[in-house]
Structure 1
Amino acid sequence: MKLDINVAGRSALTATLALALAACGGGGSSPPNAGPAPTSSASPSTAGPCSVANQIAFADDVLNDWYLFPNLLDNSVNQADFTTVQSFLDARVAPARAQSRDVGFTFATSIADENALIASGSSAGFGVRLSFDQINNRLFILEAFENAPGFAAGIDRGTEILAIGTDASNLQTVSSLLTNGGPGAVVDALGPSDAGITRVLRFAQADGTVLERSVAKADFSLDPVSDRYGAVIIQDGGRNVGYLNLRTFIVGSAADELRNAFQLFASNNVDELIMDFRYNGGGLVSVAETLGDLMGRDEIGSIFSQTVLRPERSDNNATRLFQNELNALQPDGLVLIGTSSTASASELVTNAMLPYVASSRIALVGSDTSGKPVGQFAFDLEDCDLRVRAVTFQTLNANNEGEYFTGLASVMPNTCEADDDFTMPLGDPNEASIATALDFLAGRSCTAISSDQGQIAQRAPASGMMAPDQPTAAQYQVPGLF
């Protein structure tokens, strides 16, 4: 649906308002009762329809008209004080951020880049997830995408990056970069996420082999379900347990890949599932709904989730019911493997399933999740390639539950603390989090997740996903991606 934005003193701009039923991003249809488009309050003297001032004014109108927590906007913020849309958004939503209601969830991005990401998983870079050990100043690979340059160069889960340079003559050790400049220095050394950017990397593979390779960043497609470990049958105590590792909900093809995974599960009589979303930052709610349908064989017509907007936008509220899916299961046991990088649609699915799995048979394993029971609509200033992702709705389950702003551990009936053992492959039943998930499903005891866990649980005592100050559309949705 096209909406005209009337800009005072200038010709009208056009924006597309897409109802993105996506926790942490995505796309979809327009609200049925969107009403008039935001009207810019930018000064007529502002030069150019795509000037920073006009873009900031557009973002401000979006927040005023649609933001889920209007009472948590800082109305003292002056548009003229900012030189980027993102810095303005950060300032406006600071009160919500202080209450953990919007921790980086409202952001500005490129329409073209995000649409390409949704359509095909298109991204550019080495195709790896990076995590840094803040205490020992080390940099590890948590995951490598199979069709990307990093994996082709021999870099995979468990690899340690030792040094980075533009060529072999100017390698800088990661330890010195982190010691002298922190994570930002490593990000700078790796260079922008543009195809063709080349870096020489010295790295130690998981078996200790040290290699030095020149690796060029390239365009690649994010495969949401790995062909190596995305869908696996784990035999445990004579039971077939379905293991699903979904990397992201943001790629539209993830829905069909999930259907393929559940065909494997159905053919092996699976009724216990492990959903490994430890690095899944969310994405399309439509993909989350497909996953819910695939776990709701006996719940067709029951409430999967509810979408709730601010009171004056309540005519856009919606209820999603379970729908029929071929090869759907009704899990007797369900485990989410999570970390602080597990967010959004990952949490939505788990919360939505709480009413439909016996409380003794559902658990969160790993560490506490991000805590994002809200999602964004996309507000597009098309001619300027500006998309404002503003928090506009909260999701609730069939029991009207959805207040997990501090993480899912606060609402899960069972939690089991476990390391993210990146020395072991994903999908391996001996990996610490997967082994703990199997223990829970088998009825064995575990240690509950402590309430003060804020870091990604790993063998390194304090570590976190690497992230640039100005992430690409893919980096917003796929934590740690480079």
Structure 2
Amino acid sequence: MNQSAKSYSPLQVALIGGAIATTAAVSVFGPAWTRCVRAALAFQDSPKAIVDQAWQVVNREYVDGKFNQQDWQATRQSLLSKDYTSREEAYTAIREALQKLGDPYTRFMDPKQYEALTNQTSGEVSGIGIRMELNEKTKRLTVVEAIENSPALKAGIKAGDEILAIDGKPTLKMKVDDASKLIRGKAGTPITLRLGRTGQNTFNLKLTRATIEVPTVRHTLKQEGNRRVGYIRLREFSAHAAEQMQRAIRDLNTKKADAYVLDLRGNPGGLLQASIEIARMWLDNGGIVKTVNRQGGSEETKANRTALTNRPLVVLVDGNSASASEILTGALKDNRRAVVVGGQTFGKALVQSVHELADGSGLAVTIAHYYTPKGTDINHKGIAPDIKVDLTEPQERQLASNPDLIGTRSDPQYARAIAVLSGGNFAQPPVNRPSSSLPLSDRANDLKF
């Protein structure tokens, strides 16, 4: 997961420890010492302390030691010379300072934004476990799916059920996001939904919220001509993505899939370690990724003979396949393990470490640049597919308006993948390919894209 432990400078730690002894120390050090300690403690609890903590994290970890040619020490002096009447003022000052770095990925998050990020990358939510949409015809909130092992599924909620009220609050004209905020809540707390179901009278259903693992991997076995194709779609690299991918591949292996299509289209990335673990499920040998830090030191990671299948593989990508998606795609392409089909990928080759600050806000800091196994820098360029298939605007609209067509013959990029597999024009994994790569350190668990 991301780095999330609250960190304090040595001065702050000393002050926290010293606060306990303040009363006893007065007779020894006198009123001047007491005033000094009180002033320091006031600083620790002030918005200015958050500003300084954010500056310290960037000063310590940012990938560019020249800070985009900015005088970072002078930036600190400027930040600390101001008085902040609210946390919002401090947050604005931090964001303005970070803009000088010219790096959109080094960014400040207020407590709500930081919580949203950590929830996303954890791959878990606290709620009842449904996916819902605003039905275009009825204009009502409608259940698309009840997630596996969720309170909703166990209570019998079905796709197509209309959510008419949440804890007595009518949902007519309510946005999906607003409904989600009402449904989510602390695990163990109760919630009552008013549901409408075809052929039945409306009814109330009481549920208890729980912590639910969000599905980020979906898979199915398709009969395509004489081939049994395992289709896997990976939406993001969350903390549960690797274990879900492992289950998907093993299930499709059991069902005798003799080829695979791995769909990374629209996947914005996620945790570095998840991309490494998933790459190892497809690769027995070869490099996966190399990262280079601020000092120019590099770390490399490679496959470790733990591949779950050596069957032919096609990877689908597009312009929204980014960062961790590009690490996986680059590893499979450079090792000639897969044929890459689709559009040019996004082109983000930077690694961030995420920190929680003392007041619950957060900071994502770029700490490294990464390269594909062959040493290619894809930043601002992306990965070129082996077979370029760009969707037309009408095709994009059709798939967006009818997601059930994704991963079918009505999906031009998927159809091309099947043609590649059917024609035998696919890559095979290298046999006993030597590699000088060294394992990436466990610090990868703290990194995010």
TM-score by length of 1: 0.60
2: CA distance, partners of 1:386 / 1:160: 38
Q: Where do 1:132-143 residues align within 5 Å?
A: none
How well do the aligned residues superpose, as a CA RMSD in angstroms? 5.1
Are positions 1:442 and 2:425 aligned together? Answer: no
- Whether the 8 Å contact between 1:421 and 1:431 is mirrored in structure 2 is no
| Aligned equivalent of 2:289 | 305
Are positions 1:222 and 2:218 aligned together? Answer: no
Are positions 1:55 and 2:50 aligned together? Answer: yes
| Aligned equivalent of 1:320 | 301
Aligned length: 381
| Aligned equivalent of 1:363 | 341
Relative to structure 1, is the Cα distance of residues 107 and 172 closer, same or farther in structure 2, using a 3 angstrom cutoff?
closer
1: CA distance, partners of 2:145 / 2:108: 24
| Aligned equivalent of 1:398 | 373
**Shift of residue 307, structure 1, vs aligned partner:** 1.4
| Aligned equivalent of 1:243 | 231
Q: Where do 1:332-481 residues align within 5 Å?
A: 332-336=313-317, 340=320, 343-357=322-336, 361-364=339-342, 372-379=348-355, 388-405=363-380, 408=382, 411-413=384-386, 414-417=388-391, 418=396, 419-420=398-399, 430=408, 433=411, 436-443=413-420
Relative to structure 1, is the Cα distance of residues 109 and 241 closer, same or farther in structure 2, using a 3 angstrom cutoff?
same
- Whether the 8 Å contact between 1:106 and 1:390 is mirrored in structure 2 is no
Letter matched to residue 342 of structure 2 = L
**Shift of residue 305, structure 1, vs aligned partner:** 0.6
- Whether the 8 Å contact between 2:128 and 2:209 is mirrored in structure 1 is yes
- Whether the 8 Å contact between 1:304 and 1:398 is mirrored in structure 2 is yes
2: CA distance, partners of 1:72 / 1:127: 48
1: CA distance, partners of 2:143 / 2:415: 25
Letter matched to residue 333 of structure 1 = V
**Shift of residue 124, structure 1, vs aligned partner:** 0.6
**Shift of residue 437, structure 1, vs aligned partner:** 1.0
TM-score by length of 2: 0.63
Q: Where do 1:172-251 residues align within 5 Å?
A: 172-174=171-173, 177=174, 190=182, 193-195=185-187, 196=189, 198=191, 200=193, 214=205, 216=207, 218-224=209-215, 230-251=218-239
2: CA distance, partners of 1:131 / 1:346: 27
Relative to structure 1, is the Cα distance of residues 87 and 411 closer, same or farther in structure 2, using a 3 angstrom cutoff?
farther
2: CA distance, partners of 1:129 / 1:102: 29
Identify the structure with the greater helix proportion.
2
- Whether the 8 Å contact between 2:290 and 2:372 is mirrored in structure 1 is yes
Q: Secondary structure at the match of 1:221?
A: strand
Q: Which runs of 5+ in 2 are unaligned?
A: 18-37, 422-447
- Whether the 8 Å contact between 2:94 and 2:108 is mirrored in structure 1 is no
Relative to structure 1, is the Cα distance of residues 151 and 264 closer, same or farther in structure 2, using a 3 angstrom cutoff?
closer
Q: Secondary structure at the match of 1:11?
A: helix
Tell me the percent identity.
17
Letter matched to residue 186 of structure 2 = D
| Aligned equivalent of 1:35 | none
Q: Secondary structure at the match of 1:7?
A: helix
Q: Which has the larger radius of gyration?
A: 2
1: CA distance, partners of 2:192 / 2:107: 30
- Whether the 8 Å contact between 1:108 and 1:388 is mirrored in structure 2 is no
**Shift of residue 270, structure 1, vs aligned partner:** 4.9
Relative to structure 1, is the Cα distance of residues 51 and 358 closer, same or farther in structure 2, using a 3 angstrom cutoff?
same
- Whether the 8 Å contact between 1:248 and 1:280 is mirrored in structure 2 is yes
Per-residue displacement from partner, 1:49-103 (whole Å, max 9, x unpaired)? 4554423321221123222353298957668376158656544434567x7x428
Per-residue displacement from partner, 1:160-199 (whole Å, max 9, x unpaired)? 97765541xx41423xx56xxxx876666x3664343636
| Aligned equivalent of 1:286 | 273
**Shift of residue 5, structure 1, vs aligned partner:** 1.6
Q: Which runs of 5+ in 1 are unaligned?
A: 14-42, 445-476, 478-482
Q: Secondary structure at the match of 1:194?
A: coil
